[in-house]
């Protein structure tokens, strides 16, 4: 699409951000006959990758994804969770359900989500940033945008903010809620090759080697994996950086220490509770911009996609009915909350409790669980298992039971 300085484009639905949730919202809005545009500030959708690339595959039917071959890199049999002193809890595929499944090529994945949106008729513009909201009588009616030095306006009946963790769109619309440092995980990750870990499992390491978070190894092939670590922002005292925690973890791991880092990424995820608000007049938020990352795992893709489908369908309906005021858009909130909110809250509360555990407690809990026949990774099951072996530990968690 050729753009000139000062142009004005008109769309029914404008999506800001061409990540997986933006493309998916665009896909479902275009499918339901809304004239849809997705703008992405980077020059290439999906790149550079800032992700551990671990996702389940339990959502494919819900999102109507038929072909995963473009982006699944490796199927995973299960997860191993390691306590500080080395107890191992193995959770195999049929038990873990939502939480393990595959390691993907995230850049290919994001491009595939965009492809599916384009097939439904959504337009895309890359290297195009939203730089501000256009409002009339307080209602969002479009955005100011910039593409390679040219400034222009995009008018839309509904704007969808899918601009990720650092969402500016939410701030501009006054929807933004500050996240507490304890609810932000700061992450550092290497792609490592020449390593020796079981490539059929994802590996999670708990305890003070990653204060308030965990270290992960997500295998991409027999000798290559994403090796990363997240630390609770409030536990960073300026003395040890997430990179240094990760370097220490690698130096202490005999399967990793002789490997080579071939790329590195830093980033943050919110592990907060569901937000108070995700809509305002003429605008709604999806994905990381709306804080639907799982508070325990820090994984945000699957929740974001489920929510984005709801957002896209809803936006098209709202446009067709000519109802884009905040009161009407609150119905979108009701829909996504109905689908996701219970689990988000439950996992948030579990995360808050997990933050209280020291290394000794992690050892006892993982030891207790490794004896159990886990049919479901549910908070209740976990607590019951721990109660049997270490009743003294369960005091902290009584309210959750």
Q: What is the binding site for ligand FAD (CB under 6 A)? A: 16-22, 39-42, 50-55, 129-130, 162-164, 168, 187, 189, 228, 265, 267-269, 287-289, 293, 299-301, 304
**Contact indicator for 199, 183 with CB cutoff of 8 Å:** no
* Least gap, CB of 111 to ligand FAD (angstroms): 11
* Least gap, CB of 238 to ligand FAD (angstroms): 21
Distance of CA 289 to CAs 6, 22, 57, 104, 298, Å? 28, 10, 23, 22, 14
The C-alpha angle 151, 154, 155, rounded to 5 degrees, equals: 145
* Least gap, CB of 38 to ligand FAD (angstroms): 9
3-state secondary structure of 221: strand
Query: 5 exposed, middle or buried (CB, 10 Å; 0-12, 13-18, 19+)?
Result: exposed
The two structure tokens encoding residue 245: 């925690």
**DSSP one-letter string for 230-254:** EEEGGG--SSS-HHHHHHHHHHT-T
Smallest CA-to-CA distance from 328 within 165, 202, 157 is with: 157
* CB closer to ligand FAD, 105 vs 367: 105
* CB closer to ligand FAD, 34 vs 271: 271
Query: 231 exposed, middle or buried (CB, 10 Å; 0-12, 13-18, 19+)?
Result: buried
* CB closer to ligand FAD, 99 vs 363: 99
Q: Exposure pattern of 44-71 as b/e (b: 16+ CB <10 Å)? A: ebbeebebbbbbbbebeeebebeeeeeb
Sequence-separated (6 or more) residues with CB below 8 Å from residue 175 = 161, 275, 277, 278, 279, 280, 283, 285
* CB closer to ligand FAD, 189 vs 386: 189
Measured distance CA(15)–CA(37) in Å, rounded = 6
* Least gap, CB of 87 to ligand FAD (angstroms): 24
* CB closer to ligand FAD, 105 vs 288: 288
* CB closer to ligand FAD, 54 vs 259: 54
* CB closer to ligand FAD, 54 vs 212: 54
* Least gap, CB of 377 to ligand FAD (angstroms): 16
* CB closer to ligand FAD, 101 vs 259: 101
* Least gap, CB of 159 to ligand FAD (angstroms): 11
* CB closer to ligand FAD, 195 vs 361: 195
**Contact indicator for 124, 18 with CB cutoff of 8 Å:** yes
* Least gap, CB of 386 to ligand FAD (angstroms): 27
* Least gap, CB of 148 to ligand FAD (angstroms): 13
* Least gap, CB of 59 to ligand FAD (angstroms): 11
The C-alpha angle 69, 74, 77, rounded to 5 degrees, equals: 125
């Amino acid at each position: 699409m050729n753009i000139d300085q000062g142009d004005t484009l008109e769309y029914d639905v404008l999506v800001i951000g061409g990540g997986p949730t933006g493309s998916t919202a665009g896909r479902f809005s275009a499918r339901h006959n809304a004239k849809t545009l997705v703008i992405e500030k980077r020059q290439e959708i999906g790149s550079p990758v800032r992700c551990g690339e671990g996702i389940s595959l339990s959502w494919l039917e819900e999102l109507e994804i038929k072909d995963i071959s473009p982006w699944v890199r490796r199927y995973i049999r299960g997860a191993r969770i390691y306590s500080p002193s080395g107890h191992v809890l193995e959770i195999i595929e049929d038990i873990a359900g939502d939480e393990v499944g595959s390691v993907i090529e995230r850049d290919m994945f994001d491009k595939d989500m965009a492809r599916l949106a384009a097939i439904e008729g959504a337009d895309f513009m890359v290297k195009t940033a939203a730089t501000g909201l256009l409002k009339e009588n307080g209602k969002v009616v479009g955005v100011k945008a910039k593409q390679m030095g040219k400034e222009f306006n995009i008018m839309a009946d509904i704007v969808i903010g899918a601009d990720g963790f650092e969402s500016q769109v939410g701030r501009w619309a006054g929807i933004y809620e500050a996240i507490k440092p304890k609810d932000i995980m700061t992450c550092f990750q290497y792609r490592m090759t020449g390593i020796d870990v079981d490539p059929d499992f994802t590996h999670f390491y708990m305890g003070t080697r990653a204060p308030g978070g965990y270290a992960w190894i997500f295998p991409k092939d027999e000798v290559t994996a994403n090796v990363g670590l997240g630390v609770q922002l409030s536990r960073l005292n300026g003395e040890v950086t997430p990179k240094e925690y990760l370097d220490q973890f690698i130096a202490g791991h005999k399967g990793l220490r002789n490997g080579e880092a071939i790329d590195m990424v830093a980033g943050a995820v919110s592990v907060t509770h569901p937000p108070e608000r995700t809509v305002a007049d003429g605008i709604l938020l999806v994905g990381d911009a709306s804080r639907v990352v799982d508070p325990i795992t820090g994984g945000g893709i699957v929740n974001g996609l489920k929510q984005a489908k709801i957002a896209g369908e809803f936006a098209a309906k709202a446009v067709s009915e000519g109802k884009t005021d905040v009161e009407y858009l609150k119905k979108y909130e009701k829909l996504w909350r109905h689908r996701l909110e219970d689990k988000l809250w439950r996992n948030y509360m579990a995360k808050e409790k997990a933050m209280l555990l020291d290394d000794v407690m992690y050892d006892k809990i993982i030891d207790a669980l490794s004896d159990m026949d886990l049919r479901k990774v549910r908070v209740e099951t976990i607590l019951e298992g721990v109660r049997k072996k270490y009743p003294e530990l369960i005091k902290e968690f009584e309210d959750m039971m």
